[in-house]
Amino acid sequence: MNLVAAPIAAAPVPTLLCVDDEANVISSLKRLFRPCGYRVITALSGAEGLQVCAGESVDLVISDMRMPEMDGARFLEEVRNTSPETVRILLTGYSDVESTIAAVNKGEIHRYIAKPWDDSELLLTVRQALERRRLEHENRRLEELTRRQNEELRQLNEGLEALVEQRTGELRTSNGALADANERLKAGFLTSIKVFSNLIELREGREAGHSRRVADLARRLARRLGMSMIDAQDVMVAGLLHDIGKIGLPDTLLLKSAAAMNAEELVQLQKHAAKGETALMPLAQLRGVARLVRSHHERFDGLGYPDGLLGQAIPLGARVLAVANDFDALQIGTLSPKRMTAGDAADYIKRTSGKRYDPAVVAALLEEQGATTPPQARELRLTPRGLQPGMILTRDLVSEEGVLLLAADYVLDDTLIKQMVDFEGVDGKPLWLHVREAA
């Protein structure tokens, strides 16, 4: 066994094994491949060649066909069994086709070359075979790398999916908490507005509850007219605050109905709509409401105040508020010298439809007046001792002085019920609440 050292190269140097029982053939092959930079190992028999393959990593084997004890066909077959990646080339001087076919089939050789060989052909064959082996090896390496990377990606995706699911759950929980907090904030804001609206009504007994009644009716009319929940909410809030501009008016003026006022008093009264808008404008959340407060005394025929707006130029919410406000004012005697019944007030508004009021809003009022309360909205009138946790207020709870104690739609709990029982005991008078049971 002889070893021809190959020049040191950065890339792995291909190793060739040349097997032939004739020394002169071995020498010729060594001389042929020496300039190519290959690492060449030689063996003089098939058995010796198998020993080399067992101890060395051989890239390509060139074997003669005719050798004693073990011919080339059998030798290459053994090489295939022990080192299937090694490229196998057969040199044959025989014209025996059957032996060559057997070698091809059993040894699965890459190529057979007849002796005497052509140096250029043999060099080209070896170079192409080694390049093919390199490409196959590189392909397998890349396939394995791709497989490992795909597995890593799969594991990473599983981890990411789990992380995303975890984060989604956390966000869902956080969003739920934020939504609850937002609902509590909105409920608190609305309650604050209701409490604030009581300041307007504390100065005059007949005004008590007027703003809340206007707000409730205006909200229902807005929904009948197809207004969105947000717009209907603005109409309701405007109903609660529509008379906020009257806070600075003298008591003597507030005690009169509009019909009994002189021209100077009417001018003073009519300023309250614009003053109400000014009072609300600093609050960004109430700027839309402020516009409705300013325009709730505009008339459909353009003869209203403070801007003399005509028809559709008046905001729809303000047109709704005008009907709701006057409908209640006619019944409590602040618009006419004497109080009217609900039916008379509705008839008055109907007669002035198209003049004072928007006909569409008037139609909605008449529909609302004719509507019946659905069974599921039936109220229970109870004292605090008859209340149960989970019951819901259907009306604002207002003291005899007109002060808002608890807003409608509040869900009662044990603590609040106990507080109302104690309040009733201290006051010494029955405290009646309108409630419905939770669905």
CATH number at residue 53: 3.40.50.2300
Please provide residue 246's backbone torsions phi and psi, each rounded to the nearest 5 degrees: -85, -5
CATH number at residue 247: 1.10.3210.10
The answer on 213 and 336 residing in a single domain is: yes
Mean pLDDT over 34-44 rounds to 90
Residue 106 lies in a domain: yes
Residue 131 lies in a domain: no
The answer on 344 and 219 residing in a single domain is: yes
pLDDT digits (tens, 9 = 90+) for 48-85: 999 999 988 899 999 988 888 888 888 988 998 888 88
Q: For residues 63 and 22, is the Cβ–Cβ distance under 8 A?
A: no
Residue 380 lies in a domain: yes
The answer on 406 and 307 residing in a single domain is: no
Residue 173 lies in a domain: no
Q: Is 228 left (phi over 0), alpha (psi -120 to 50) or beta?
A: beta
What three-state secondary structure class fits 186?
helix
Residue 283 lies in a domain: yes
Report the 10 Å Cβ neighbour count for 123.
Answer: 15
- Dihedral, 287, 293, 296, 297 alpha carbons, nearest 10: -130
The answer on 383 and 366 residing in a single domain is: no
Report the 10 Å Cβ neighbour count for 211.
Answer: 25
CA-CA distance, 205 to 193, in Å (whole number)? 20
The answer on 433 and 382 residing in a single domain is: yes
Query: Of 96-100, 145-149, 415-419, 426-430, which gets the smallest average pLDDT?
Result: 96-100
> In this model, does residue 312 exceed pLDDT 90?
yes
- Whole-number percent of the chain with pLDDT over 90: 23
> In this model, does residue 401 exceed pLDDT 70?
no
The answer on 112 and 214 residing in a single domain is: no
State pTM to two decimals. 0.50
pLDDT digits (tens, 9 = 90+) for 337-386: 788 888 888 999 999 999 999 999 999 999 988 864 444 557 788 888 88
Tell which of 341, 371, 401 closes a domain: 371
**pLDDT, averaged across the chain:** 82
Query: Of 45-54, 58-67, 125-134, 198-207, which gets the smallest average pLDDT?
Result: 198-207
CA-CA distance, 189 to 412, in Å (whole number)? 18
CA-CA distance, 38 to 384, in Å (whole number)? 104
CA-CA distance, 258 to 274, in Å (whole number)? 17
The answer on 381 and 363 residing in a single domain is: no
Look-up: residue for tokens 């614009």?
274
The answer on 422 and 332 residing in a single domain is: no
The answer on 428 and 367 residing in a single domain is: no
Tell which of 117, 144, 177 closes a domain: 117
Residue 168 lies in a domain: no
> In this model, does residue 8 exceed pLDDT 50?
no
Q: Which residue has the higher pLDDT, 1 or 155?
A: 155
Q: Please provide the DSSP assignment of 287-305 as one string.
A: HHHHHHHHHTT--TTS--S
Query: Which pLDDT does position 233 carry in this prediction?
Result: 86
Residue 161 lies in a domain: no
The answer on 305 and 213 residing in a single domain is: yes
Nearest CA to 115 among 62, 158, 59?
62
Q: For residues 235 and 219, is the Cβ–Cβ distance under 8 A?
A: yes
What's the total number of domains in the chain? 3
Residue 23 lies in a domain: yes
Mean pLDDT over 294-317 rounds to 92
Q: Which residues contact 274 (CB under 8 A, 6 or more apart)?
A: 245, 294, 306
The answer on 272 and 325 residing in a single domain is: yes
Structural domain including 272 reads 206-371
Tell which of 117, 132, 149 closes a domain: 117
* Parallel, antiparallel or unpaired: strands 397-398 and 433-436: unpaired
The answer on 91 and 218 residing in a single domain is: no
Reported for 30-38, long-range contacts at CB under 8 A and 24+ positions apart, including other chains, are 30/2, 30/4, 32/119, 32/122, 32/123, 33/4, 33/123, 33/126, 34/4, 36/123, 36/126, 36/127, 37/6, 37/7, 37/9, 37/13, 38/6, 38/13, 38/14, 38/126
